[in-house]
Structure 1
Amino acid sequence: MTATTRSKRRQAGEGGISEYATKAGQRYLIKYSHTRPDGSRGVVLKRGYLTKKEAATDLRQRLSSVDDHTHVVPAKMTTGEWLDQWLDGLQLAPSTMASYRKNVRLHLKPRIGAVPLQQLTGARISTAYRGMETDGRQDHRSGEGLSKRTVRYCHTILKAALSDAVRQGLVVKNAAGDAKPPSVTAAKAPEMHPWSGAELGAFLRWADDRAAEHRPAWHVLAYSGMRRGELLALRWRDLDLEHSTLSVRRSVGVVQIEGKGKTIVEGPTKGKRARVVDLDAGTLDVLRAWRLARAGIALSLVRDDALIFGTLDATHQHPERFSARFTEKQAQCRRALAHAAPPAIRLHDLRHTHATLLLRAGVPVKVVSERLGHASVMITLETYAHVMPGMQAEAAATFAALMAGGAS
C-alpha cells in the first residue's frame, strides 16, 4: 500500500484518514459520511492537515457532531450571500419584500455581510447593532444613528434568515439568539398624539373652506380608523350605501425597487385579511357629496372600479405626498386659528384619535380592534394601554355607584 493510499480500515460510515503527497510535503485528509437535513446521505472530504494527530482530532469532533445531530457541512458562504439567497426565496407582500431588501442592503450587509456565515456570532451581531445606533443612517442625514426601532426590525429580519440557515443545515445555531438588540421597550413605536373630539372637529370645520378637496379623505380616516394605505386603495365598489359599510380589502404603499426607484404598489392589507367597517350617517353624506363632486369632473372617476380618493388621472395618490399635504394644511390651520388651532399630529394619529375616543367612550375593545383591523385584541390592548388606566378608574367609580344605589 503506497503513501498516497494508506488509510486505516474503519467500519462503514465511521470515517477515515488518508495520507497524500504535496510539493510542500506529506498531508492528511479525512473522509466521513453524514445525513443531510433532507434525509439523504452525503460524504465530506477535507484535506490539508499537517499531522495525522490533527486530522484524527478533527475527525473525532466531526463524527461526534454527526452523532449529536449538530453537524454542518463546511461552507465558504458569507452572511451577505446567505441573506441574498434567503431573500430570493421568500414569498411576501411587495411592500414587505422591499422593506426587507432595503434593510439588508443598507444596514445588515455593510456591517456583517463579509463575515463567513459559520463564523457569525452573537457578539459580532451585537457590535453591528451598536454601530447602527451610532451612525447607521444612509439617507440625507447620513452619519446619524438609526432609531432603536429600526435596529430591532433589522434584528427580526436577521433572526428569521438565520433560523432558515439552521433548518437547512448551514449553521448549527442561530447566532442572532445570542445577540443583544434594543429591548422591546426601547424600540416601541413613536408616541401617539391623538386629538380630542373638539380638536378634530375644529380642524375639519376649518378644512371645510380652506382644504375642501382634502377634507373628505381626512374625515373618512378619522371616522373609520383606517390606515392611510387602506384609504388610498378604496374603490367605489367597496362602498355599500344600503348597509352603510366600507369593505377594506387592499392597501397601497411606496416601495423601493432597484432600477425603478420609489414605486407605488397595491397589495393586501397589513393583516392580510379583508374587513368591513360600519359608517355613520354623517360619513355616508360626506362620501355621497364627494362622489357627486367627482362625477362633475368626469364620470370615469365614479365608476365602480374607480378609486374613491384617486388622482384626476384615476391613479393612486402618492401615500407620502398625501401625508405631507396633511402636515402642510395643519400648518396653515395653525396660522389661521392661532391658539384655537389643534396641536400638530401625524396623519397616522387620526387612526389613533378614532381608537382612543372610542375606548374612552366605553366601546368594547373587541369592537375597536375589529374596526382597526388588528390581528388580535391583544394588539389593541398593548397599543392603547395608556387609555386603560382612566377607563379602569371610571369602571371602579361606576361599580361603587351601582352598589351605593343598591344599598339605599
Structure 2
Amino acid sequence: MFSELVQGTFVQEKKITFEDFSQEWLLGYQSTGKVKISTVRVRQHEISLLKPYFAKLKMSDITKKQYQDALNSLQKKGYANNTIDGAHRTGRMIFKRAVELDVIKTDPTTNAIVPRKQLTVEELEQGIEIPKYMEKEELALFLQAAKKFGLERDYPLFLTHAYTSMRSGELCALKWGDIDFDEQTISITKTYYNPRNILNDYMLLTPKTKKSKRVIDVEDLVLEELKNLQAAQLKFRELQSKDNKPYHDKNFVFAQLDGRNPGYPMYLKLVAIRMARLLKISKLNDKLTPHSLRHTHTSLLAVAEVSLEQIMQ
C-alpha cells in the first residue's frame, strides 16, 4: 500500500453494494438529459440481469472471475447473444464509473469475454435461423393479403412500411404534417414509445439516432393509399364531432378509428399482431416481424442494383 500511496494510485474502496451503486449510477445516467426514457428502461433491465449475481456484494469485493462467471451463467440460462452483450455493456459502464469515483480500485469487467452460443451443424442444416426478409414475390403476396383480407388501416400501414423502410416506431408516430404530397416525401422526426401497450399512455421521442432524422422519397402508389386513408379519417372525425364523441386530435396518420380511444396512434405490439395475422392468411413464414420489412426493403434495393451508399442513406 505504501508504494501505491507514493505513486498516487491508492484508492480507499467504499462499502457500497452493487445493488445500491447501480441504482445511483442509473439515476445519474438518466439525469444527464442525453438519453431517452426508452434507453434508461433498457439499462434498468440489463442491471436486473446482473443483480442476482452481485446485488448484496460490495462493489470492491466483486472479482473478475465472478463477473466472468455471471456472463457465462447468463449464456447457460439460454439468454440470447444480444441480451448478454447488453448486460455486459451496462456492467462495463457501471464499474468504469465506480473507478472514476474512487469507489473501487480495479474494474472487474476488464478483459471479460462475452460467451456466444454457436449453432450446431444440425441446426444450420435445418435452417432454424429466423429469416430477415421476404423475397419480391413473397412481399407481393403479403401486400395482396393485406389489401384483400386486412383489418382497418392494414394495407396503407404495411404498404408504407415496406416501401419506405421506416421503423415501426416511426410509422406509429407519423403525423399528416410529416407528409408532403406535393413534393412526394415523408419527414421522419420522431418515434413512438409505449412499453405498456396502452393506447392512451404513449410518448413521442426523438428518432433512434441523429441519422434517423431524414426525408424519404415516396412512391405514387403509397401516397394514393395515404390520401384514401386521410379522407376516411376526416369523414370519421366529422361524424365523431357531429355526435359529440371524443377524438384524440393529434393528427396521427395511423390513428384508431374505432374502439374506446379513437384518434390515438397504433402501438407497436398491435402492428406485430396485425402482421402475424396476415402472414398466416398468406401462408408465409410466421417468424417474420415488422422489422423484417426493413430488411426486405434493403434486399430489394440491392436486387435493383442500387448502390450501397444510396441504400445506407
Q: TM-score, normalised by structure 2?
A: 0.83
Report the CA distance between 1:253 and its aligned residue.
2.9
After superposition, the Cα gap between the structure-2 partners of 1:270 and 1:192, relative to the gap in structure 1 and judged at 3 Å, is farther
Any unmatched runs of 5+ in structure 1? Answer: 1-60, 136-144, 335-341, 371-408
Letter in 2 for 1:265: M
Which of 252, 256, 265 aligns to 1:316? It is: 265
Structure 2 counterparts to residues 265-344 of structure 1, below 5 A = 265-273=203-211, 274-299=213-238, 305-312=250-257, 313-334=262-283, 342-344=284-286
After superposition, the Cα gap between the structure-2 partners of 1:79 and 1:303, relative to the gap in structure 1 and judged at 3 Å, is closer
Q: Residues of 2 paired with 1:149 and 1:197: CA distance?
A: 29
Q: Residues of 2 paired with 1:314 and 1:182: CA distance?
A: 46
Q: Residues of 1 paired with 2:292 and 2:150: CA distance?
A: 19
For 1:279-330, what per-residue CA distance to the aligned partner results, in whole angstroms no more than 9, with x for missing partners?
Answer: 1111111111111121121158999941111223222212112212211221
Structure 2 counterparts to residues 191-210 of structure 1, below 5 A = 191-210=130-149
Q: Residues of 2 paired with 1:278 and 1:358: CA distance?
A: 14
SS of 1:176's equivalent in the other structure is coil
Report the CA distance between 1:172 and its aligned residue.
2.3
After superposition, the Cα gap between the structure-2 partners of 1:175 and 1:365, relative to the gap in structure 1 and judged at 3 Å, is same
User: Is 1:255 matched up with 2:188?
Assistant: no
The one of the two structures with greater contact order (alpha-carbon pairs below 8 A, sep at least 6) is 2
Q: Which is richer in strand?
A: 1
Aligned residue-pair number: 286
Q: CA RMSD in A?
A: 2.7
CA contact (8 A) 1:94 1:265 kept: no
- Report which of the two structures shows the higher radius of gyration computed on alpha carbons: 1
Q: Percent identity, please.
A: 23
Q: Residues of 2 paired with 1:309 and 1:251: CA distance?
A: 13
Any unmatched runs of 5+ in structure 2? Answer: 120-128
For 1:100-122, what per-residue CA distance to the aligned partner results, in whole angstroms no more than 9, with x for missing partners?
Answer: 112212x1111112221112122
Structure 2 counterparts to residues 174-253 of structure 1, below 5 A = 174-183=107-116, 191-211=130-150, 213=152, 214-253=154-193
Q: Residues of 1 paired with 2:52 and 2:141: CA distance?
A: 48
For 1:39-64, what per-residue CA distance to the aligned partner results, in whole angstroms no more than 9, with x for missing partners?
Answer: xxxxxxxxxxxxxxxxxxxxxx1x42
CA contact (8 A) 2:250 2:263 kept: no
Letter in 2 for 1:128: A
Q: TM-score, normalised by structure 1?
A: 0.65
Which of 50, 59, 82 aligns to 1:149? It is: 82
SS of 1:298's equivalent in the other structure is helix
Letter in 2 for 1:116: K
Aligned to 1:163: 96
